[in-house]
Chains A and B, each alone.
Chain A
Amino acid sequence: MSTKSSRLAARLMLSPSVVLLLIWMIVPLVLTLWFSFRRYNLMYPDRQGFNDFGNYTRFVMSSDFGLAVLNTLILVGAVLVITVVLGILIALLIERPMWGQGVVRILVISPFFIMPPVAALIWKNMFFNPTNGLFGEAAKYLGLPPFDFLGQAPLASIILIVSWQWLPFATLILLTALQSLSGEELEAAEMDGAPPVSRFFYIILPHLARSITVVVLIQTIFLLGVFGEILVTTQGGPGSASTTLPYLIFKEISLDKDVGTAAAGGVVAVILANIVAIFLMRAVGKNLDA
Chain B
Amino acid sequence: MSRAITPQAKAINTGLAWSVALLIAFPILWTVLTSFKPEPQAVASPPIFLGFDWTIQNYIDVQDQRAYFRYFVNSVVISIGSTLLGLIIAIPAAWSMAFVPGARTKDLLMWMLSTKMMPAVGVLVPIYLIFIRLGLLDTRIGLTVVLMLINLPIIIWMLYTYFKEIPADILEAARMDGAGLREEILYVLTPMAVPGIASTVLLNIILAWNESFWTINLTTVNAAPLTAFIAGFSSPQGLFYAKLSAASTMAIAPILIMGWFSQKQLVRGLTFGAVK
Contacts from A to B (Cβ < 8 Å): 1-2, 6-7, 9-11, 13-14, 16-18, 20-21, 24-25, 27-29, 31-32, 35, 90, 93-101, 103-119, 121-123, 125-127, 132, 134, 137, 140-141, 164, 167-169, 172-173, 176-179, 181-183, 186-187, 210-211, 214, 218, 221, 224-225, 227-228, 231-233, 245-247, 249-250, 253, 259, 262-263, 265-267, 269-270, 273-274, 277, 288
- Which residues of the partner chain A approach B161 to less than 8 Å between Cβ atoms? none
Q: Say which residue of A125, A178, A253 sits within 8 Å of B1 (CB atoms).
A: A178
A81 to chain B minimum Cβ distance, whole angstroms, is 18
Interface stretch (choices B59-67, B91-99, B135-143, B190-198) = B91-99
Asked if A134 and B20 make an inter-chain contact with CB atoms under 8 angstroms apart, the answer reads: no
Known: A126-B31, A273-B117. A232 touches B231 (CB 8 A): yes
Knowing A28-B126, A121-B248, A126-B27, say if A115 contacts B209 (CB, 8 Å).
Answer: yes
What is the distance, in angstroms, from A248's C-beta to the closest C-beta of chain B? 9
The residues in B between 68 and 110 inclusive whose CB is less than 8 angstroms from any CB of A are 89-90, 92-93, 95-97, 99-100, 102, 108
Given contacts A35-B126, A117-B231, contact A25 B267 (CB under 8 A): no
Given contacts A107-B22, A126-B34, A134-B47, contact A274 B117 (CB under 8 A): yes
Which 5 pairs from chain A and chain B are nearest by CB?
Answer: A266-B122, A13-B92, A10-B96, A31-B126, A28-B123
Q: Bound state CA distance, A9 and B1, in angstroms? A: 46
| Cα(A254)–Cα(B129), bound, Å | 14
A16: which B residues are within 8 A, CB to CB? 89, 92-93
CB contact under 8 A between A123 and B27, given known A16-B89, A269-B119:
yes
**Once the chains are docked, how many angstroms separate the CA of A46 from the CA of B118?**
31
Q: Does B51 contact A (CB under 8 A)?
A: no
29 A-B pairs whose Cβ atoms sit less than 8 Å apart in the complex? A1-B171, A13-B93, A17-B92, A18-B108, A25-B118, A28-B130, A29-B123, A31-B123, A31-B130, A35-B125, A97-B10, A107-B22, A108-B25, A109-B263, A109-B266, A110-B25, A113-B210, A114-B252, A122-B31, A132-B45, A137-B46, A173-B267, A218-B271, A218-B272, A228-B231, A232-B230, A263-B125, A266-B121, A266-B124
Residues on B facing A (Cβ under 8 Å): 1-3, 5, 10, 13-14, 16-18, 20-22, 24-25, 27-28, 30-31, 34, 43, 45-47, 89-90, 92-93, 95-97, 99-100, 102, 108, 112, 114-127, 129-130, 149, 152-153, 156, 168, 171-172, 181, 206, 209-210, 212-213, 216, 226-227, 230-231, 233-234, 236, 241, 244-245, 248, 251-252, 255-256, 258-260, 263, 266-267, 270-272, 274-276
- Flag if B20 contacts A90 (CB, 8 Å): yes
A115 to chain B minimum Cβ distance, whole angstroms, is: 4
Q: How far is the CB of A128 from chain B (nearest CB, A)?
A: 11
State in angstroms the CA–CA spacing of A118 and B246 once bound together.
11
**B18 with A21: CB separation less than 8 A:** no
A-side contacts of B45, CB under 8 Å: 132, 137, 140
Residue of A nearest to B98 (CB): A10
Chain B residue contacts of A250, Cβ below 8 A: 121, 124
Given contacts A90-B20, A104-B17, A117-B230, contact A227 B120 (CB under 8 A): yes
A127 touches B1 (CB 8 A): no
Find out whether the CB atom of B21 lies under 8 angstroms from the CB atom of A259.
Answer: no
**B264 smallest CB distance to A (angstroms):** 8
Inter-subunit contact B115/A121 (CB<8 Å): no
> A206 vs B231: C-alpha distance in the bound complex, in angstroms?
42
- Cα separation A267 to B121 with both chains bound (whole Å): 10
Contact A17 B93 (CB under 8 A): yes
Q: Which of A123, A214, A265 contacts B271 (CB 8 A)?
A: A214
| Pairwise interchain contact B263-A105, C-beta atoms closer than 8 A | yes
> Which of B16, B251, B271, B276 has the most chain A CB within a 10 Å cutoff?
B271
User: B152–A110 contact, CB under 8 A?
Assistant: no
